[in-house]
Structure 1
Amino acid sequence: MSFVFAHNNFNVLNLEKSLAFYKQALGLEETRRMEKPDFTLVFLGDGRTPHKLELTWIKDRKEPYQLGDNEFHLAFTADDFEQAYELHKNMGCICYENKAMGIYFIADPDGYWLEILPKR
């Protein structure tokens, strides 16, 4: 028996805002959508790996999600780290930098952290 990663899930408050963020910040594209009366699932991919990010939008939710200490994150490598840094700096979404390690984090519209790593 073996297992393969399929996707990670983030619940989002504003689906359109989140889709625009992930497209602009990381180049993720919608690969599949599932519409239900109470919620919508949208799967995003990078076009190179099979891994997906599933965004779940609960249609009647009005309050932001409580992320606790937010001690989790997704990580992305950037083939042009300096260009990625400038994009995210201009977007105003960098929330933490660790220059000694050569990495930084960006926050999506709901406050989820995404680590940006240079390609090694």
Structure 2
Amino acid sequence: MDIANQLFWLFTLPLPIGCVAWTVTHEEVFREPREYCVNCSKNGKTLLQRKFFYLFTCEYCFSHYVTAFFIVVTDFHLLLPDWRGYLIAEFALVFVANFYMSIFALLRQAIKKEKTEIEVMQKEVEK
């Protein structure tokens, strides 16, 4: 695979990786399983149990596993054609996916702030 193709995949694959990681760790559709995992991560009896369940509550941690899944499915490797290319791809894809998720979080925060400001202005106009 040539470098241009690898770069294309490096910036494209993190989109679904970030989408899956964000949805599982933040969105309402997974609220109940996430709350269960939060509870188990805080109140688990063993360190291993607490750390295992924490992985499903942190988008950064969870993105490593989602990335590993996508690497297996797509057989993507970066720079080198052997196991080292898969290792490099794992961390590069996680980095880019978390960069995308950070941008998404900032956009959501700005939109929420703007909606709140609009609601406050509408209430002031009604008075």
The two structures have a TM-score, normalised by structure 2, of 0.21
**Hey, which of these two has a bigger chunk of helix by percent?**
2
Q: Larger C-alpha radius of gyration, 1 or 2? A: 2
Bigger RCO of structures 1 and 2 (CA < 8 A, at least 6 apart): 2
The two structures have a TM-score, normalised by structure 1, of 0.22
**Hey, which of these two has a bigger chunk of strand by percent?**
1
